[in-house]
Amino acid sequence: MAWHCTGATNNELIENLSREGLIKNEKVKKAMMAVDRAHYAPSRPYSDSPQPIGHGATISAPHMHGHACEYLINHLKPGSRVLDIGSGSGYLTHVIAKLVVDSPSRNGTNGQVIGVDHIQELVDLARNNMNKSEDGRELLETGVVKFIKADGRRGWPEGAPYDAIHVGAAAQELHPLLVEQLRAPGRMFIPVNAEGSMTSAFGGGQYIWVVDKKEDGSIQKDKVFQVSYVPLTDAPK
């Protein structure tokens, strides 16, 4: 973990991640600069580490948010439709929203990001966090960002097809229903437990998979790097 990237301000954190090569894409850098993590990770907002946000969830480390955006960037354009499953704090949903709208005027595109979480309190938290900034409020009011309570393993068929699907919790499989909801071309970024590893196991046994649905509808799956995410599970009773 790149603790030494930690900054005193949001800009310093993002600059440090960029200098260390953990964020390479200028569009991703600009979007992350524009969203203050203090609204989403109140305890140590500018630390390059995951932080607890309650209900057993964590906001991922900034470098992981950067990696997720970079893997998806070719599918995060003004007008793109995106599904963010396990939206938790709402931070990444906000960053993605910055990439799918035309700046500074948002009128030109129909870009939209749907954040899905199965815990109502976290759906409310994400909305409250976005309401802390004028930019966030505008993205909610214009319907560019919507937060929905649902089981993300089923995706959100009402909004499909999606140019990009981000999954922020470790799945047991490359859920076929999610692949179905991808546009052709489209891309999904999803952490998946390695076969035989336990859902609850932290550290080891989870890999990011990048799933591409090509223009002709064919599917390519690539296992790209090892990670440690909160599990994508049944909702707590």
Which residues make up the interface to ligand SAH (CB under 6 A)?
A: 57-60, 85-89, 91-92, 116-119, 122, 151-153, 168-169, 230, 232-233
Tell me which residues are annotated as active site. 60
For the bound state, the minimum distance from the C-beta of residue 216 to ligand SAH, rounded and expressed in Å, comes to 30
Residue 55 or 109: which CB sits closer to ligand SAH? 55
User: Phi and psi (nearest 5°) for 64?
Assistant: -70, -40
204-220 burial, b at 16+ Cβ within 10 Å, e below that, comes to: ebbbbbbbbbeeeeeee
For the bound state, the minimum distance from the C-beta of residue 171 to ligand SAH, rounded and expressed in Å, comes to 9
How many Å apart are CA 92 and CA 30, to the nearest integer?
13
Residue 117 or 212: which CB sits closer to ligand SAH? 117
Q: What is the DSSP letter of 74?
A: G
Sheet of strand 162-167: strand arrangement: 145-149, 112-117, 81-85, 162-167, 182-193, 206-213, 219-226
Residue 16 or 60: which CB sits closer to ligand SAH? 60
For the bound state, the minimum distance from the C-beta of residue 10 to ligand SAH, rounded and expressed in Å, comes to 15
Q: Identify the residue whose tokens are 């999606």.
A: 162
